[in-house]
Amino acid sequence: MTATIPSDKDRVIIFDTTLRDGEQCPGATMTFEEKLEVASLLDAMGVDVIEAGFPIASDGDFAAVHEIAKRAKNAVICGLSRAGAKDIDRCAEAIRPAKQGRIHTFLSTSPVHMKYKLQMDAEQVYQLVISAVTRARNHTDNVEWSSEDGTRTEFDFLCKCVEAAIKAGATTINIPDTVGYSVPEEYYDLFKRVRENVPNSDKAVFSVHCHDDLGMAVANSLAGIRGGARQIECTVNGIGERAGNTALEEVVMAMRVRNDKLPFWNKIDTTMLTRASKVVSAATSFPVQYNKAIVGRNAFAHESGIHQDGMLKNAETYEIMRPESVGVKQTSLVMGKHSGRHAFVHKLEEMGYKLGQNQLEDAFVRFKALADRKKEIYDEDIEALVDQEIAQS
Ligand code: KIV
Ligand code: ZN
């Protein structure tokens, strides 16, 4: 069988915004040192673009972006800025030391944002898109423009702004689902239609940026990629404003595991995903939910007897990816009241016990009785139970 060579047109740029949108969620503030640690891990993991902060927001944010820009070995270092000249210039200054730097400038384009937030009419917004991108382009040739609240923007106006941004020199066009309102079919269509309608749309890379208010950020992001976008903006553990952003580990593994349906590739070293999750969780003090896809502590744990029995016969019965592929040492068969005899015997073997048939039967009965009383069974519990069984027989 000949291996398929991945083509550049199917490559998806992974743009991580843990240090910007991720840090923006209440309680997730990171120290300067923590930001450097996270950035260095993202860089080593193969993230293409690191959005390191919002330089105008504070001196601390500026300093972190500046230092990350100095240290990054491979990734493009990006700073966020609104559309004003001061914002853009401050951002340019922050990313200056980077081997490769990007200015990401954004402006709201939806009726509700223009009317209430910006208090500007469409023509003013349109002119500001052009001046912001032009100013950013005078600093660097790597400029991203985002239409904030893009999914609630009137279609023709969105196309008009995207066209103007590309003409002014934007090399990446991001259409965010800022409030997590879209559904996959709609987001897919949006990218397809915008790319078909905007002249010279092939001059820019299109990008997805989804929030998880309806729990569809990952599905929407992948739909946008099928619609022609080639950059995913995401965060480790999916942290971010309100319900969070697209989880990096989930989109990356979805493209690996279901490459038959999602024939796209990215450069992430997936064996570093679990470590990245732990580092970000420690830095932000945000716990990772137990059942979180890919990196939750139960993602490769099995307790039911039927599942454990299947796993002991062949891991493919209940696992669609190997734990090692995401940096987890091994599957864990958690001993509890749902565990069966097969898993119990396996556990005893692992712990170095060899029991006779009667001893084993007795020990298993005692184990089940204990598991009914106790939520978690540790190795020490099994040790005590078996030692007692041996002593009595
Ligand atoms: O959600 C959003 O619209 C954003 C933009 C600043 C890109 O985070
Ligand atoms: Zn966002």
The number of the ligand 1 atom at minimal distance from the alpha carbon of 211 is: 1
113-160 pLDDT, tens digit per residue, is: 999 999 999 999 999 999 999 999 999 999 999 999 999 999 999 999
Mean pLDDT of 331-351: 94
Task: Determine contact, residues 256/264, Cβ cutoff 8 Å.
Answer: no
156 is in an annotated binding site: no
pLDDT of 26 reads 87
The CA–CA distances, whole Å, from 4 to 31, 203, 255 equal: 44, 27, 15
Residue 237's region, left for phi above 0, alpha for psi from -120 to 50, else beta, is left
Neighbours of 71 (CB within 10 A): 14
* Residues paired with residue 206 on neighbouring β-strands, in sequence order: 173
Angle between helices 59-71 and 85-95 (to 10 degrees): 40
177 is in an annotated binding site: no
Q: Report the candidate in 55, 46, 44, 43 with the shortest Cα–Cα distance to residue 79.
A: 55
237-293 pLDDT, tens digit per residue, is: 999 999 999 999 999 999 999 999 999 999 999 999 999 999 999 999 999 999 999
- Give the confidence band of 70 by pLDDT, cuts at 50, 70, 90: very high
211-224 pLDDT, tens digit per residue, is: 999 999 999 999 99
193-210 pLDDT, tens digit per residue, is: 999 999 999 999 999 999
Q: Which ligand has the minimum distance to the alpha carbon of residue 246?
A: 2
Q: Is the ipTM of this complex over 0.95?
A: yes
Provide the sign of the torsion angle of the four alpha carbons 336, 341, 343, 347, taken in this order. Answer: positive
- The pick from 17, 145, 178 for probing ligand 1's pocket by mutation, whose C-beta has the most ligand atoms within 8 angstroms, reads 178
CB neighbours of 234 closer than 8 A, spacing ≥ 6? Answer: 14, 15, 16, 17, 221, 245, 246, 247, 248, 251
